[in-house]
Amino acid sequence: MAQGDTELEARLEEQDEFEPSEEFVAQANVSDSDIYDEFEENWPVCWERAADLLDWDEEYDEVLDDSNPPFYEWFTGGELNACYNCVDRHVENGDKNRVAIKWEGEHGETRTYTYQDLYREVNEFAAALRDLGVEEDDVVTLYMPMVPELPIAMLACARIGAPHNVVFAGFSAEALATRMNAADSRFLVTCDGYYRRGDPLDHLDKTNEGLDSVDHGVDATVVVDRLGDDGFGHDLKGNQHDWDDLLDEQGGERVEPVERDAEDMLFLMYTSGTTGQPKGVKHTTGGYLSYATWTSHAVLDIEQEDTYWCSADIGWITGHSYIVYGPLALGSTTVMYEGTPDFPNRDRMWDIVEKYAVDIFYTAPTAIRAFMKWGSKYPASRDLSSLRLLGTVGEPINPRAWKWYYEHIGNEDCPVVDTWWQTETGGMMITTLPGVKNMKPGSAGPPLPGIDAQIVDTNGDEVKPGRAGYLTVNKPWPGMLRTLYNNDERYISEYWEEYSDTDSDDPDDWVYFPEDGAKVDEDDYITVLGRVDDVINVSGHRLGTMEIESAIVGVEGVAEAAVVGGNHEVKGEAVYAYVITEDGYEEGDDLRARIIEGVEDAIGPIARPEQVVFTPELPKTRSGKIMRRLLEDVANGAELGNTSTLRNPEIVGEIEAKVRAQSD
Ligand code: WTA
């Protein structure tokens, strides 16, 4: 490392507040600090500012209908079409030749879609879906990797008013079936395969296995041919159709975008919760789209001219809001990359930034920690001077990783927005407005204008700055989930019951609980500490410990299992499994391998345990409750918490010794 670098690192190390450059502020979409007061004084009418970024077929009558909390309705009476807003209006406004999607495959092949190209394919696919029998309000499941056909299918669904239900391609066959069953979805769009670290991966085989477990049967499946000659030679079955054939048949067909009520469902997205059953988060057309677009404009600072790249997978909410809906509604160019960040080399990300002259880059802390580990020589070998703004999402970012990102990717010129939000919130909630606020590494920032968040104790009383408490949101916002699919009761019990007076119909008595711990400083900057429920965050992906446990106890030879999250240098958290075997079964590598396989089959490789520790007992309280906190301490090599309430305190030391032996 050169002398200058060391000095720089030492200086950054000490700095805990960073100002955006004058140059950035001068061009920012939002640069007036009055916006916070304006939103507060005019709440909820302030949200017209978000709705105004869209074209409405029918103006709304009311910004917020809060007469039946927590079933809030936004922009009621308004009608619009999300696909029209993301595609047609740009074509009509003379931007048909502007690039909408720049796609790069793992092997370096590229595809470019102008807004006109997108318009044509989306229309043709919408027509194809209709011909296959998809009607308004039918849920269409999209089980696809990062190929352009995924956003095209999403927009085609939106065009005909059929909510989509995207299932992350890395999820298992079983996870696909669970989500299709829960959503009562009879249509599926999938893919023959995709590339991972250079090798083709069979996706259709997994799809077919999943389809066998869909209770209600499936009317039609569409299969994208991604692999061509590298494919696995599956024959399509009777109700399976080839994507290209369908488009050829439709050749140039047009479908009028249907006028959707603002409160009509745009999509469903299943996310992990505390129970084994994933939650079907419902998002709407008017509120969600306004909110995703507004935050893309205000926080990501996206302008039409920008080339913007979010490296998330569209299979998660980040990709929905900030690869597809927000950037396309704003008419910008959104980059999509199919593969892994280290293929063929560890400079792949920076190669893409240089090649497309990316202006704005949005990624996850886990990725930043991996880049950091690989070393700054990789970004240094590329020209990253096109970058104007950087963002992170998905988990807390430690100040060291933040500073590395700021220095080595942003060249100390680009503000970094650390954005806190959730699948349920639809869009960003807590982060700095980059043209207005200073940044404090490690802290997401203040709540965005119009968002009312507080840190409280278990009684719901606000805690003092610096003290850890629970994050709550006290007012509704347009991007919020409306309910859990077909399960209003669980919607209330999961998100509202904790801090609300559920008998009241006064919205002031209703408080949203995201199940995160947090603290706030004197300047109202919030540091999110992590989940306080049984959900762990592995590489920015939300996984329910109960889901993993039920996969493990499903394995022959396992009697009982407890899963916790342990700290991990790159992934943030990793899955640690403590397992009791059934009598007659041997602890050992064979069972360990079957446990890992069982988890991969039930959920997918992302949930694979980092460590499987066999133990004769689990630490339990006298009432028989597993003490997860102690297991977390063991996983983290931390000093053990209080064991005096345990029925079997001696077991903790035994488990600890085993973990240590396995780690050596
Ligand atoms: C965590 C991803 C700290 C948090 C958009 C939240 C964060 C969960 C941050 C939601 C952040 C997300 N700082 N923690 N900037 N962003 N989280 O639904 O625990 O996949 O509740 O949505 O990720 O994960 P989800």
Torsion angle of the four alpha carbons 387, 393, 395, 401, in this order, in degrees rounded to the nearest 10: 10
pLDDT band of residue 645 (cuts 50, 70, 90) is confident
Whether residues 538 and 658 share a domain: the answer is: yes
Flag whether pLDDT at 7 surpasses 90.
no
Q: Which residue, 145, 148, 153, 137, is CA-closest to 185?
A: 137
pLDDT at 293: 99
Please enumerate in sequence order all residues whose Cβ is within 8 A of that of 195, keeping only pairs 6 or more positions apart, or say none.
105, 106, 107, 201, 227, 338, 339
Residue 654 sits in a domain of what CATH number?
A: 3.30.300.30
- Stretch 622-640: mean pLDDT, rounded? 87
In a domain, 313, yes or no: no
pLDDT at 272: 87
In a domain, 621, yes or no: yes
User: 308 alpha carbon to ligand 1 midpoint, in Å?
Assistant: 21
User: 321 alpha carbon to ligand 1 midpoint, in Å?
Assistant: 14
Which helix (DSSP H) or strand (DSSP E) does residue 131 occupy? Answer: helix 115-131
**Residues with Cβ within 6 A of ligand 1?**
271, 316-318, 393-396, 418-423, 444, 514, 516, 528, 530-531, 537, 542
Query: Cα-atom radius of gyration of the chain, to the nearest Å?
Result: 25
In a domain, 144, yes or no: no
Q: Which residue, judged by its Cα, is nearest atom 25 of ligand 1?
A: 422
**334/311 Cα distance (integer angstroms):** 10
DSSP state, 617?
-
pLDDT at 3: 47
Question: Which amino acid makes up residue 391?
Answer: G
pLDDT band of residue 273 (cuts 50, 70, 90) is confident
- Stretch 623-630: mean pLDDT, rounded? 85
**549/663 Cα distance (integer angstroms):** 22
Q: Between 272 and 38, whose confidence is greater?
A: 38
Flag whether pLDDT at 343 surpasses 60.
yes
Question: Which amino acid makes up residue 48?
Answer: E
pLDDT at 5: 64
Flag whether pLDDT at 526 surpasses 80.
yes
**439/19 Cα distance (integer angstroms):** 6
**How many structural domains comprise the chain?**
2
Whether residues 650 and 547 share a domain: the answer is: yes
Cα of 106 vs its chain's centroid, Å: 22
Residue 525 sits in a domain of what CATH number?
A: 2.30.38.10
In a domain, 434, yes or no: no
Whether residues 546 and 659 share a domain: the answer is: yes
* Structure-block tokens of residue 87: 């595609």
In a domain, 336, yes or no: no
pLDDT at 4: 53
- Stretch 329-351: mean pLDDT, rounded? 97
* Structure-block tokens of residue 131: 């011909």
Flag whether pLDDT at 59 surpasses 70.
yes
The residue range of the domain holding 472 is 453-476+488-529
Atom of ligand 1 nearest to the CA of 424: 18
Question: Which amino acid makes up residue 66?
Answer: D
Whether residues 548 and 648 share a domain: the answer is: yes
Q: Tokens 């603002």, residue? A: 262
User: 422 alpha carbon to ligand 1 midpoint, in Å?
Assistant: 5
pLDDT band of residue 661 (cuts 50, 70, 90) is confident
Q: Which residue, 592, 631, 586, is CA-closest to 609?
A: 592
Average pLDDT of the chain is 95
Whether residues 656 and 577 share a domain: the answer is: yes
Between 234-238, 267-271, 472-476, 520-524, the lowest mean confidence (pLDDT) is in 234-238
Whether residues 648 and 635 share a domain: the answer is: yes
Whether residues 553 and 654 share a domain: the answer is: yes
pTM of the model: 0.95
Whether residues 575 and 650 share a domain: the answer is: yes
User: 539 alpha carbon to ligand 1 midpoint, in Å?
Assistant: 11
Whether residues 524 and 589 share a domain: the answer is: no
In a domain, 404, yes or no: no
Q: Give the tens place of pLDDT for each residue, 371-417.
A: 999 999 999 999 999 999 999 999 999 999 999 999 999 999 999 99
Between 159-168, 311-320, 519-528, 638-647, the lowest mean confidence (pLDDT) is in 638-647
Mutate to test the pocket of ligand 1, among 300, 398, 494, 542 (most ligand atoms within 8 A of CB): 542
- Per the CB < 8 A criterion, the answer to whether 651 and 643 are in contact is no
Whether residues 626 and 639 share a domain: the answer is: yes
Whether residues 628 and 513 share a domain: the answer is: no
Q: Give the tens place of pLDDT for each residue, 352-366.
A: 999 999 999 999 999
pLDDT at 2: 46
**516/158 Cα distance (integer angstroms):** 32
In a domain, 378, yes or no: no
**396/364 Cα distance (integer angstroms):** 9
Q: Give the tens place of pLDDT for each residue, 459-518.
A: 999 999 999 999 999 999 999 999 999 999 999 999 999 999 999 999 999 999 999 999
- Per the CB < 8 A criterion, the answer to whether 211 and 186 are in contact is no
Whether residues 624 and 513 share a domain: the answer is: no
Sign of CA dihedral 118, 119, 124, 128: positive
Between 32-36, 193-197, 404-408, 620-624, the lowest mean confidence (pLDDT) is in 620-624
Phi first, then psi: give them for residue 77, nearest 5 degrees.
85, -15
**430/94 Cα distance (integer angstroms):** 35
Rounded percentage of the chain residues whose pLDDT exceeds 90: 89
In a domain, 262, yes or no: no
